[in-house]
Structure 1
């Protein structure tokens, strides 16, 4: 799992995204800090990929609503890995007065270039912090070295018909990038195939090259950005840029259906669907692969339990994903993800829903197809998800596919 390649690399993780399309879940937190799969945060996926790849020096660049994310990094990644000084969350909010909010992805790295310059690493991995996937980054670095590249960009295979939503590479037969276009009207497919290469926003640079291009770019662009500015600049100069096909990446213990799995979870509906996939009999994303674990703050919580076994009052969890500290007390939970420390009280029914941490559902409650944010208390007798007009009257968000989102705003109105 570990290799000298990873150990010779530092990582800069861009974790400042607002995630506006995930509102109201992102009203109080950045997108990378949103819960996923009950116990995890979205950022845990990229950090686990780096850690499992042996890349142990990681700077996490936060920005928007950074408090909860910084707290999570400090209490989990900085603490239990024993690598507190290497998993560092840094933010313009807590930095010197000369530093301002990031104006672009390149500008974010530029503001903290001193960390890159002072390292003895040969390579810098610049990765996003808000996607769900598993990846052995060593394989991408090996590809980068083999091609003697100035920049390697992780690429998704997407159908030509869908490629206009992405930044798309034109490549030759050796996967060398010859052009890059953001959201092209007529995307160019990979030679001899009916798919396009779309950027994942994950980059490998030789350390010296990254410093050089950022210092050149800042002379021209105030809002320096990798997609808009740096890649076109490097192409114009004739630098060697290669697209690394994410479909070629194989992790230990990986099943065939997991190959190429990557989710943006950028909308409430896509977020809900990706979570619900986890409770399928054979989910596309396998969180039970102990050869490539997704790591997070486990907390000192007791096991989940069910309480009562009477005909009209039986605690049961069916086809559900139940985290530590949960109590299902004389109620039915079906097709649902329960985050840590949730409680569902007697005679209630919760179906096809996502409960964030420490949600308390009262008695005689009915909830269907809902996302309930952290610490929300649902009073006895409340009904959510059955009458969308009533849900709207209470101020809840209803998605296009009919998911009801209950925000983190204290006690729910009956």
Structure 2
């Protein structure tokens, strides 16, 4: 395990997650009330026994740096680490990362040292729980040069993924990126019998989609990155070029996996956490998800109706409030007689004192959190927002896409950016 280096890709500008990525990188986006997206792949690595980890970023990485520095500390006598590798100018390159393969190439000096036999490459914006040791077992047993984690998907989901086809032994013998037509799809249909032999029930899922999780022999990775002309992306260029000359193996995964790359997917996955049987359960004793210890008090909830709600630490929710199918993040303060439905409230970075609240009210500034009498539905409220009293965020006109200075709408979901002030009696 000590001979495996894990590289987690922080992604690009995160435009599809905007405005959540207005002031932070994608891996730093909060999730599950008290975690950040980066905690998911890091925790999967640590739980699988891989504790030498770099996170590659280039956009708005300050909050991510703080989170990692304050969270992941290893025994000084061990060899474990979690460190940020921010994009930087070097003698070899003065460019931003041009794609996944280019990002790895620009950080070659960290794994091309002879110390690592394997390099595992992961994405920083996915929600899943996976034992990477099983991926390593597949890699070794098949004597692969590269092993790709794949998940079976139905036909209607294939247009958003890179797909592969395999032979009877699971060796990859074809690639396509985000197919749009039946003619493109047809060669990538995988018989249900093959999927069942991998211990997975197909249930109409006869296509293998890439999860963006790759395990390389280090020597193979270097050879593929050096191949001319230089490739910028693994899925679009590297693998389609090389699957014939190297042994590229598929490893099937059948657990919950969701790419949180859009506001809609982030919103839906977050609300699902509050359900009776969440598809991803942070309460599971297996594969604990780690995050920063904040030493917050328990939440105080007074005469409130809660139905399918996930409430994080340090919250204050006052009487008469009704919360349905909603996620409440750390340090949230919700006033009296508020209605929250189908909403993600990310929370706050700090507690406000009574003196601060009194001073702000004299200046007409709402408290941090949600003011008395407000009604919010199908929304996403980012951190440190101030929603005044009797505010209505309902999108009754069913607008699908919109941007203004104080809110955005994505797929009909109203998004209030970080630190935004919404005055009393506002209607959105």
TM-score band, normalised by the shorter chain?
A: 0.7 to 0.9
Aligned to 2:296: 301
Query: What is the distance in 2 between the residues matched to 1:81 and 1:162?
Result: 46
* Counterpart for residue 189 of structure 1: 189
SS of 1:124 mapped into structure 2? strand
2:39 matches 1:38: no
Q: What are the ranges of 5 or more consecutive residues in structure 1 without an aligned counterpart?
A: 1-5, 248-259, 308-313
* 1:212–1:97 CA distance, 2 compared to 1 (3 A): closer
TM-score w.r.t. length of structure 2: 0.84
Q: Does structure 1 residue 275 correspond to structure 2 residue 270?
A: yes
- The match for 1:338 among 315, 328, 342 is 328
Deviation of the 1:166 alpha carbon? 1.5
Unaligned runs of 5+ in 2: 194-203, 349-367
Deviation, structure 1 residue 303: 0.8
Q: Give a deviation string over 1:226-265, Cα, whole Å, max 9, x none.
A: 11222123224x2111111112xxxxxxxxxxxx211112
| 1:325 corresponds to which of 314, 318, 323 | 314
CA displacement 1:312-343 (0-9 Å, x = unmatched): xx344432111111001224233211110000
Local SS of the residue matching 2:111: helix
1:131-150 matches, within 5 Å, as 131-150=126-145
Q: Is the 8 Å Cα contact of residues 386 and 419 (structure 2) preserved in structure 1?
A: no
2:221 paired with 1:234: no
Aligned residue number for residue 342 of structure 2: 352
What is the match of residue 286 of structure 2?
Answer: 291
* Distance in structure 2 (CA, Å) of the matches to 1:350 and 1:331: 12
Question: Residue 140 of structure 1: CA displacement?
Answer: 0.5
With 89-98 and 8-17 compared, the bigger mean Cα shift is at 89-98
TM-aligned CA deviation for residue 42 of structure 1: 1.4
The 5 A counterparts of 1:192-231 are 192=192, 195-216=206-227, 219-221=228-230, 224-231=232-239
Go from structure 1 to structure 2 and tell me whether the alpha carbon gap of 1:183 and 1:352 turns closer, same or farther (over 3 Å shift). Answer: closer
Is 1:364 aligned to residue 359 of structure 2? Answer: no
Contact 1:77 1:84 in 2 (8 A): no
Structure 1 residues 18 and 82: CA distance shift in structure 2, 3 A: farther
In structure 1, C-alpha distance between the alignment counterparts of 2:389 and 2:144, rounded to whole Å = 61
Q: CA deviation at 1:181?
A: 1.2
Q: TM-score of the superposition, structure 1-length normalised?
A: 0.86
Residues 336 and 84 (structure 1), Cα distance of their counterparts in 2 relative to 1, 3 Å cut: farther
**Counterpart of 2:237 in 1: which secondary structure?**
helix
The answer to whether 1:71 aligns with 2:81 is no
From 379, 384, 389, give the equivalent of 2:393.
384
Distance 1:79 1:168 in 2: 38
Q: Which residue of 2 aligns with 1:310?
A: none
Does 2:162 match 1:163? no
- Which residue is 1:255 aligned to? none
Shift of 1:363: 1.6
| Kept after mapping to 1: 8 A contact 2:406/2:421 | no
- Give SS of 2:293's match: coil
Matches of residues 247-286 of structure 1 in structure 2 within 5 Å?
A: 247=254, 260-286=255-281
Instruction: Deviation per CA, 1:286-326: give whole Å up to 9, x if none.
Output: 2111121111113121111113xxxxxx3444321111110
Residues 83-142 of structure 1, C-alpha deviations (whole Å, 9 max, x = no match) = 897100110158789543111111111111111022522211011111111100000011
Secondary structure of the structure 2 residue equivalent to 1:347: coil
Residue aligning to 1:257: none
Q: Measure the CA separation in 1 of the matches of 2:315 and 2:79.
A: 30
Give the Cα–Cα distance (whole angstroms) in 2 for the partners of residues 369 and 224 of structure 1. 38
Is the 8 Å Cα contact of residues 339 and 374 (structure 2) preserved in structure 1?
A: yes
Distance 2:13 2:390 in 1: 35
Q: What RMSD in Å do the two structures reach over aligned CA positions?
A: 2.5
Query: Please, which moves more after superposition, 88-97 or 119-128?
Result: 88-97
Q: Within 1, Cα distance between the matches of 2:339 and 2:121?
A: 44
Aligned length: 386
Deviation at residue 398 of structure 1 after TM alignment: 2.7
From the superposition, tell whether residues 99 and 11 of structure 1 become closer, same or farther in structure 2 (CA, over 3 Å).
farther
Q: Say which is worse superposed, 118-127 or 274-283, in terms of deviation.
A: 118-127
- TM-fit CA distance, 1:152: 0.5
Deviation by residue 1:360-383 (Cα, 9 ceiling, x = unmatched): 111222212211010001112211
SS in 2 for 1:292: coil
Contact 1:140–1:244 (CA under 8 A) maintained in structure 2 = yes
